Amino acid sequence: MLPDGPFSVILLANQSLIAVLRIMNHPGIIFTLFWLLVLSISPSVIRWKNQQTQSTASTYVCPPCACSGHGEVFDHPGQCSYCDMPLIADDYPKVPVIEWSLRSEGFFILYYHKLFYPAYFLAIFLCLFTGWRYRQDPQVLLFMTFFLVYILYAFKSQLAGTGHSMRFPPRWFFFPGTFLLAAGPALWLYGRQYGERKGSFGRREALHFLPAALVILVNLVLFIGEPSWRYSALYNGFDHYPAWSEQLVFLFSGTYYGWNTGILVPRKTEGPGPQRKWLYGLLGAHFIFIVLWAILLLANFFLYNGMSTSLEYHWIWLYTAIFSLAGTFMIISHKEILFPPAVTKELRLDQSEMDVLKDRLHRLMEEEKPYLNPDLNLQGLADLLGMKEKDLSELLNTGLETSFYAYINTYRLEEVRNLLLDPEKQHLTNLAIAEEAGFSSRSTFFSLFKKRFGMTPGAFKKSHSQ
């Protein structure tokens, strides 16, 4: 259990976060606040974890790494004389697999120069070249962003490790060239844009990248700022709190966006063909990153108080190299699967017909209010307009760029808003008002209302009654 100080900070921050989330209903804002919360408490948490173990320790050792000082035992806390990493209590739980994984640089050293670095360089060059060549295509840019996230993170880590071994100043640990929290949003938006040549990418879409942008900004400030800022942000001689917080939040952000991408796949592909296999394969690769990071990050924290550096996450860097080569092969050989051409449908209605039908539809919705009927469907609305169901579907999907239920529920939500503000309807419950506006599902109504107005119907009524 955490001491009162850090625990009270966490409790207060969580209460504040919950209050803010009621207002800001967007994943990008939620994960931004989550990262700021984790960043604010990470120094206290890591300090507390070390104090808990050191208070009962009598001997100390170097945390698992590649140095040659693991046979030595120290009788007081301090730094390892071989690698300068902070010593940890010798009574930590020994997990052989994790120990071997973090100490296995000798096993991997050959592959770093013959596999890791060439794979990273090739993938980075190909991503930049392809991204520039197809810079007008959203799905290409989003895939390249997703692909580069992992490669640049691994590449930066290895370069910083080289600087660490050569006793370079810690400025380069903060180089603002990585954006791990962009992986999930880029994957999800790529899945949403898959098979389309033009897609909407406005402010709400850009907000998904807000956490990654904030991490870059914080690293930039530390990179160009005072040396004392950088030393205060380091906690084991190499890793720093912004990066630790970024990796921890990535476990949640990556899982959230990965799950939502999985929901998209059946809607974006037809049958078990190569495109569906590709999207599911890409999703699987993403979740392997999450699992590897979760194992190593959490094991490092709970077993070694976070004092073993991320340089020792060799299995992540190996997997990144394999991921780089596989992605490079797909970009070179199978662009038609990665970036399928948009399917152009032959339209039944021309633009002039659509304009006339739009006016008829809007006039019908305003004057006759067919949306008040909870059983209204596409065929029923088409009958009211005196047109074919397929023509109405094309009018909604192509002419108005919406679906039938999204269009109908827009009018129903506006009707609910008016009823909530109507003095003569104040005796009705929120559910009764929803039913009067045409909603037949309680859960659908509350979900859509909160998404549209940013609050519950009760909170909306209360805010307008004052």
Instruction: Using the predicted structure, report yes or no on whether residue 323 has a pLDDT greater than 80.
Output: yes
In degrees, rounded to 5, the angle at the alpha carbon of residue 349 between the alpha carbons of residues 347 and 353 is: 155
State the Cα–Cα distance between residues 189 and 268, nearest whole angstrom: 12
pLDDT at 89: 73
What is the distance between the alpha carbons of residues 243 and 238, in angstroms, rounded to a whole number?
10
Quote the tokens at residue 251. Answer: 């476990």
Please state the rounded mean pLDDT for residues 358-373. 91
Q: What residue spans define the domains of the chain?
A: 4-338, 352-465
Of the candidates 321, 300, 301, 297, the residue with the CA atom closest to the CA atom of residue 108: 321
Q: In 3D, which of 297, 302, 296 has the Cα closest to residue 101?
A: 296
In whole angstroms, what is the distance from residue 333 CA to residue 69 CA?
47
Mean pLDDT throughout 103-107?
68
pLDDT digits (tens, 9 = 90+) for 158-188: 777 766 666 677 888 888 888 899 999 999 9
Percent of all residues in the chain with a pLDDT value above 90, rounded to a whole number: 29
DSSP percent split of the chain into helix, strand, coil, nearest 5:
70, 0, 25
Torsion of Cα atoms, 87 then 90 then 96 then 101, to 10°: 0
CATH number among 1.20.1070, 1.25.40, 2.60.40, 1.10.1740, domain 4-338: 1.20.1070
User: What is the pTM assigned to this prediction?
Assistant: 0.69
The pLDDT, as a whole number, for residue 1 is 37
> Which pLDDT tens digit goes with each residue over 87-100?
777 777 777 777 77
Whether the per-residue pLDDT at 63 is higher than 80: the answer is no
User: Rounded distance, CA 435 to CA 416, Å?
Assistant: 9
How large is the average pLDDT for residues 141-165? 84
303-307, 314-318, 410-414: lowest mean pLDDT where?
A: 303-307
pLDDT, average across residues 228-238: 87
Q: What percentage of residues in the chain have a pLDDT greater than 70?
A: 85
The CATH number of the structural domain formed by 352-465 is 1.10.10.60
Going through 19-124 in order, the beta strands assigned E by DSSP cover 60-61, 88-89
Report which residue type is found at 337: I
pLDDT at 35: 95
What does R_g of the chain's alpha carbons equal in angstroms? 27
Most confident of 262-266, 411-415, 460-464: 411-415
Same fold, 4-338 and 352-465: no
Residue 47: count of CB within 10 angstroms of its CB: 13
User: Tell me, what's the pLDDT at 457?
Assistant: 87
- 3 vs 249, more confident: 249
Task: Give exposure, 141-174, as e/b (b: 16+ Cβ within 10 Å).
Answer: bbbbbbbbbbbbbbbbbbbbbebbeeeeebeebb
For residue 3, the model assigns a pLDDT of 41
**So what's the pLDDT on residue 20?**
52
Sequence letter at residue 423: P
Residue with tokens 């296995």: 104
Asked if 196 contacts 340 with a C-beta cutoff of 8 angstroms, the reply is no
Q: Please state the φ and ψ torsions of residue 60, each to the nearest 5 degrees.
A: -135, 150
Are the CB atoms for 181 and 251 separated by under 8 Å?
no
